[in-house]
Amino acid sequence: MESAVERLLADLKDDEEAVRDRATEALWHRWFHAKGMVGLDVLQHAQKLVEAEDFLAAETLLSDLIADLPDFAEAWNRRATLRYMQGRYRKSLYDCRVVVRLVPYHFGALHGMGLCHAALGDFREAIHAFNRALEIQPHAQINRVLMLECTARLS
């Protein structure tokens, strides 16, 4: 019997945009809710801190959550996003790698890895990461565009 995640991953490849959108939303929901309301509440609080540009408090909150729940992939992913926003690409890349180790089909973290590699000028690795994201979410045009941009940078 096909698992719920396998069905969602298959739906990411569907020709119908509405089916893909529902699958994408369902996977994000699954990742954000993986540790119940406690984990979700902390992620939401961290997001409010980011929106208020209190990056230090947001990172502290996320780091504490990671210390308490080291297998909570979305806590790592949110911290990776925060670090990327701050231009701390190597630290963001580290967090993205943990996410992918925990959830190999996390297309958001794979996309983030590509962004980090591109920002660091490692265009071959960026292309590889964007391609891995496309294997999971083949209709995500942004990854194709970014692959082309990185390929052009190699020339």
Q: What is the pLDDT of residues 1-49, one digit of tens each?
A: 469 999 999 999 999 999 999 999 999 999 999 999 999 999 999 999 9
Q: 58 lies in which domain range?
A: 4-154
For 119-151, what is each residue's pLDDT tens digit?
999 999 999 999 999 999 999 999 999 999 999
Q: Which residues contact 92 (CB under 8 A, 6 or more apart)?
A: 80, 81, 83, 84, 112, 116
- In this prediction the pTM is 0.94
Domain count, the chain: 1
pLDDT tier for residue 155 given thresholds of 50, 70 and 90 = confident
Residue 9 maps to which CATH number? 1.25.40.10
Secondary structure class of 101 (helix, strand, coil): helix
Angle between the N-to-C axes of helices 107-119 and 141-154, in degrees from 0 to 180, rounded to the nearest 10: 20
- Nearest in space to 79 (alpha carbons), one of 96, 54, 104, 97: 96
